[in-house]
Structure 1
Amino acid sequence: MINQDKPIQKILFGSPGTGKSYQIAEIAEKQLGIKSDGHILSNTIKVVFHPEYTYSDFMGKLLPISNGNSVVYKYYPGHFLQALGMAYEALINRKGQNYLLVIDELNRGNAAAIFGSIFQLLDRDNDGWSNYEVDISEMELLGLFNSIGYKTEVTNNHTVRVNDLPLELFINSNLEKEYESEWINEGKVDVLQLLSKCKIKIPPNLSIIATINTSDESIYYLDSAFKRRWSWEYVDAPSNSDITNRRIPADILRLPLSLSDNTSLDWYRCIVGVNEFIKLHHQSIRRIEDKQIGWWFIKPNGCQLTSEEVKDKLMFYLWDGVFTRNKQLLAKFIEDKLNKKNVVLATYADFLVYTEDLLRYWHNNINAVTENELKVDPSEDF
């Protein structure tokens, strides 16, 4: 088991399909000692942010449930409280394990509103604990005790009970026991002291890793105060150097792309060719670092890809996501490189006509596409 004193608090960003989720699994195993069973990581809570995701989903919410002819309310801990409870339980029982909260598509939700006061906890001290604590409600405390594994309930007279004891009595009696035992300064006292005051901190055995994909324009803005509380890691897109240094995933290396004339291309060469083509227009395309495509941008259903699958995903991405505001760059490239005359791209269907010709060019000319081969007006903004 890996014992890591310094927790990870990181955002992975990069082009779509570059394997950010796969990299999280590698970090979890190699740096945190968290094992995976197939595609499922142990000791991990995973959530995907989206525009309808709220603070209540993240922390917890009180929901009605039917109980015979009556309705009762139950508090359900959110993803953050679940992860925090797992980490606290490990400290209380001295398990010596690390835990992980994974947030996919961090900027597709309103992160500032979702985190709310939890935002303060992202500042960590050298010992891995949050620099500050935040107050939580009695109901949130109840949900946290639930996540830790204690039996909790709210009686008819609205008294909160934990392990069949009133909340205050439960905490005080446990604190007394811990101060008299070997647990002092081992983490358990710190946790119960915090909870006795209805306060929480993020402990050193809880890491948080998030991903963002800013190639999607319909996202929420992350302000600088939020950004500086994370370390950032760019996941690079495939390039010529990956072919030169043979850094190609085995499954992608063997994957053919079948064309309508019964010929086939190496899909990995097409991927690199597309990225070189996109980088050619770096002076005109905003955020070029994440407009490229990764090895897994298209996930094949079988042992080969077809040009129809490429039309459905890649060509539309280029048309609608990369060259959104000016299709003249596409038209000029087709005229210059494919020797076509008077190319007019009035509709997406006009662009699809050139799919296989473009794929052949990208496949065969991955080293020939340089920024000097096509004149670009740097004043144009796309």
Structure 2
Amino acid sequence: MNKTIDIMTLNPEQQQALVCMFFAMLPNTDKRYKKRKEYWEILQRRFNKKINTYKNAKDTFDFYFSGNDRVGWSDDRALSRRGKEFQEVFDKYGECEVDIVEKAVDEIIKLYSYDDISFISMKCGFPDTVHAMLNGEKEITIDGVYTLQEELVNEKIVFVTLGGDRGKKEVNWEPGFYGIAHIVKPPYDFGYNGDKKYFKFDIYMDCTFAKTYKREEFLGYRDAFDATYIGPELSRDPSQAISSLDDTKAVAVVRAIIDKQPELKDKMHEIFDDNFMNRVLGAVRVLIPSVAEYGESTEDIFKTYKSEQDAVQENEFIEPVFNTKLETEFEKNRIVFGAPGTGKSYKLKEDSEKLLKVNPKNLERVTFHPDYTYSQFVGTYKPVSEASGDIRYKFVPGPFMRVYVEALRSGRTDSPQPHLLLVEEINRAKVAAVFGDVFQLLDRDKNGVSEYEIQTTEDIRNYLAIELGGAPNKYEKLQLPNNMFIWATMNSADQGVYPMDTAFKRRWHFQYIGIDNSDDKVEHYIIPVGLGDSKKYVYWNELRKSINEILTDECKINEDKILGPYFLSKELLENAVNTTDSENSFIKAFESKLIMYLFEDVMRMKPQMIFKGHANKSGKMIFSEICRAFEEDGEMIFDINLPEAKSNNTEE
């Protein structure tokens, strides 16, 4: 007969079964019987099972203990039907003395009463909630919940998984582990849907991953098994959308993510405390997939696995060439900047034709905007529609990664060619966020190769292996070759621009385009001013310079906000006086582009200083009235009176 029960030899299911069997051994009159709900609540918090589940298990055991004065389930096969763990516990400990079982049960309850269940695991399947996350929203309201109320406290960390029925058309995302959040508003709005048990709580998304990670991607991490909703499932998931997650499983899950996305290590340090991260970065149990012949030792299996991996890694791999010996007069990282209309884009167009004269197709152009992101620039996992109509996730490269791959591919040839990534309006996006760790690569040595390398993500490694050959582990580091050029334009006059920090700017060669650098190329252009009988023709360059003199001398406006020669496009200037229709179109373009720019951007606070001719006539300082005055008085709205020019656009 057992004198003691070693609870550490029991798995969690057997431990729970032993607790239920203990209460079945007691009659209702035993004061220890009253502890059952308290003990079941502790198990409920740990294993996310309903108390009624434990009650039913106890009732099943009742049938086998006649001394408890309860009938229980009148079926001698009910125990085996409930689960093999129940039958095993009864067979082994059913005849033990109650006091011995009680001692073991108290140890189990003590074990699970410790506060080592620090986290929440949650599965989201409502389309509105998931789409809010996928759209980048940070604060998310979670509803449809009725359990773990006491655990949902402020600052509690939540592991977020995307679920949903893939058979429904509104479920257009890939299910899997998606990110980590923390609670910012504990349970509230109880009974919001008419059922008083349901409530809401709010989370803040601290970190989202480059892709959603499926259960099978955690197969190599033994302790991640049964991490609810995340890892491989050995026992059935709870029916509720949230569950507790113990520290050991959480450690394995976070380690798996960092192994797959090393760039998230610093972010995880921000989210979790030092003790937790020390465990994450310490020794974690991993499983190695392999095939074993009968009788092979573990050592033999590992040797076979290693040799197979080495063979795969060497397969069709050609070492990247970063120093291609390419010689050129142009800078590798270059930003051309100046006032609106100075010809920044035109300058880069001319230079790109010289740089890429062998193959003009080695150019990719992108325009930054305030919502532009790192994932758009470098690449990320996205849902992609296949020919069959099915939606699946795959890594979609951004312009940076596409040019990078082509540059490396060209660098392997006998005649490497330059490849150019041209960024228009670079400072209209938050460049530090868009470039991310890529900005570290912009430090180039004397040969034009990145001085420093950065760690790649697993997704990028796989992408580079597919595009360039070899195994993914051959691409653990990223480095710019000297045949990859990154040029950009910048207009500091725009209201929607973002400042660049010094660390970012020092990695570029800046070239300033002066306000009159292309002055000689627009001297012959003639434009109409005014409509109808008041229409006259003047030289565009004379009007531009006259307006600029007012802006700089009288209004004290900086050069980056005054008018460049091509503030109005070359096409617009060339067609300004061709026909009556084109002249009328030019007048409208002049109003919507130039007058609007001066009124809304440059002289927003004191428009009367630039439209002083209109102001002197006691005209209203509103945009519509200024435009009407221009159609009647032409350039006189600026208090400028230019001589009449020839009414054609031929060069004198």
Q: Aligned with 2:341: secondary structure?
A: coil
Q: How does 1:300-319 map to 2 (within 5 A)?
A: 300=572, 302-304=575-577, 305=583, 306-319=586-599
User: In structure 2, what is the Cα distance between the partners aligned to 1:61 and 1:282?
Assistant: 48
**TM-score of the aligned structures, taking structure 2 as reference length:** 0.43
1:4 aligned to 2:328? yes
Decide whether aligned partners of structure 1 residues 141 and 95 sit closer, same or farther in structure 2, where only a CA change above 3 A counts. farther
Partner residue in 2 for 1:211: 489
1:55 aligned to 2:328? no
Partner residue in 2 for 1:374: none
Q: Aligned with 1:364: secondary structure?
A: coil
Decide whether aligned partners of structure 1 residues 24 and 145 sit closer, same or farther in structure 2, where only a CA change above 3 A counts. farther
Correspondence for 2:635 among 336, 340, 359: 359
Q: Which moved more, 1:136-145 or 1:74-83?
A: 136-145
Q: Which runs of 5+ in 1 are unaligned?
A: 151-161, 169-195, 366-382
Correspondence for 1:20 among 336, 340, 344: 344
Contact 2:465/2:475 (CA < 8 Å) preserved in 1?
no
User: In structure 2, what is the Cα distance between the partners aligned to 1:282 and 1:92?
Assistant: 57
1:237 aligned to 2:515? yes
Q: Aligned with 1:65: secondary structure?
A: strand
Partner residue in 1 for 2:398: 78
Contact 2:365/2:421 (CA < 8 Å) preserved in 1?
yes
Q: Percent identity?
A: 31
User: In structure 1, what is the Cα distance between the partners aligned to 2:389 and 2:607?
Assistant: 63
In the TM superposition, residue 19 of structure 1 has moved relative to its aligned partner by 1.4
User: In structure 1, what is the Cα distance between the partners aligned to 2:561 and 2:539?
Assistant: 22
User: Which amino acid counterpart does residue 308 of structure 1 have in structure 2?
Assistant: K
1:278 aligned to 2:537? no
In the TM superposition, residue 254 of structure 1 has moved relative to its aligned partner by 3.6
Q: Aligned with 1:225: secondary structure?
A: helix
Partner residue in 1 for 2:622: 347
User: In structure 2, what is the Cα distance between the partners aligned to 1:233 and 1:5?
Assistant: 14
1:64 aligned to 2:335? no
Q: How does 1:238-257 map to 2 (within 5 A)?
A: 238=516, 242=519, 247-249=520-522, 253-257=524-528
1:106 aligned to 2:430? no
Decide whether aligned partners of structure 1 residues 311 and 94 sit closer, same or farther in structure 2, where only a CA change above 3 A counts. same
Q: Which moved more, 1:69-78 or 1:319-328?
A: 69-78
Contact 2:339/2:515 (CA < 8 Å) preserved in 1?
yes
In the TM superposition, residue 268 of structure 1 has moved relative to its aligned partner by 2.4
- Superimposed CA distance per residue, residues 292-330 of structure 1 (whole angstroms, 9 cap, x where no aligned partner): 122322231835354333122211111111101223423
1:222 aligned to 2:500? yes
In the TM superposition, residue 132 of structure 1 has moved relative to its aligned partner by 0.2
Q: Aligned with 2:423: secondary structure?
A: strand
Contact 2:343/2:566 (CA < 8 Å) preserved in 1?
yes
User: In structure 1, what is the Cα distance between the partners aligned to 2:416 and 2:450?
Assistant: 19
Partner residue in 1 for 2:292: none
User: Which amino acid counterpart does residue 497 of structure 2 have in structure 1?
Assistant: I
Contact 1:14/1:290 (CA < 8 Å) preserved in 2?
yes
Partner residue in 1 for 2:363: 44
Q: Which runs of 5+ in 2 are unaligned?
A: 1-325, 578-582, 644-652
Q: How does 1:166-185 map to 2 (within 5 A)?
A: 167=472
User: Which amino acid counterpart does residue 485 of structure 2 have in structure 1?
Assistant: S
Q: How does 1:89-100 map to 2 (within 5 A)?
A: 89-100=409-420
In the TM superposition, residue 92 of structure 1 has moved relative to its aligned partner by 1.0
Structure with higher RCO (Cα < 8 A, 6+ apart): 1
Contact 2:550/2:610 (CA < 8 Å) preserved in 1?
no
In the TM superposition, residue 280 of structure 1 has moved relative to its aligned partner by 1.8
Decide whether aligned partners of structure 1 residues 269 and 84 sit closer, same or farther in structure 2, where only a CA change above 3 A counts. same
Partner residue in 2 for 1:373: none
In the TM superposition, residue 69 of structure 1 has moved relative to its aligned partner by 7.2
Contact 1:3/1:97 (CA < 8 Å) preserved in 2?
no
Decide whether aligned partners of structure 1 residues 344 and 222 sit closer, same or farther in structure 2, where only a CA change above 3 A counts. same
Correspondence for 1:132 among 427, 446, 452: 452
Contact 1:132/1:201 (CA < 8 Å) preserved in 2?
yes
User: In structure 2, what is the Cα distance between the partners aligned to 1:42 and 1:326?
Assistant: 47
Contact 1:64/1:74 (CA < 8 Å) preserved in 2?
yes
User: In structure 1, what is the Cα distance between the partners aligned to 2:621 and 2:576?
Assistant: 35
User: Which amino acid counterpart does residue 264 of structure 1 have in structure 2?
Assistant: Y
Contact 1:34/1:98 (CA < 8 Å) preserved in 2?
no
Partner residue in 2 for 1:189: none
Decide whether aligned partners of structure 1 residues 227 and 354 sit closer, same or farther in structure 2, where only a CA change above 3 A counts. same
Decide whether aligned partners of structure 1 residues 5 and 313 sit closer, same or farther in structure 2, where only a CA change above 3 A counts. closer
Decide whether aligned partners of structure 1 residues 315 and 69 sit closer, same or farther in structure 2, where only a CA change above 3 A counts. closer
1:293 aligned to 2:563? yes
Contact 1:6/1:127 (CA < 8 Å) preserved in 2?
no
Q: Aligned with 2:521: secondary structure?
A: coil
Q: How does 1:188-203 map to 2 (within 5 A)?
A: 196-203=474-481
User: In structure 2, what is the Cα distance between the partners aligned to 1:217 and 1:99?
Assistant: 32
Q: Which moved more, 1:45-54 or 1:320-329?
A: 320-329
Q: Aligned with 2:327: secondary structure?
A: coil
Contact 2:614/2:626 (CA < 8 Å) preserved in 1?
no
- Superimposed CA distance per residue, residues 224-253 of structure 1 (whole angstroms, 9 cap, x where no aligned partner): 1111111111112238x94xxxx124xx62
Q: Aligned with 1:26: secondary structure?
A: helix
In the TM superposition, residue 98 of structure 1 has moved relative to its aligned partner by 1.1
Contact 1:238/1:293 (CA < 8 Å) preserved in 2?
no
**Higher radius of gyration, 1 or 2:** 2
In the TM superposition, residue 72 of structure 1 has moved relative to its aligned partner by 2.6
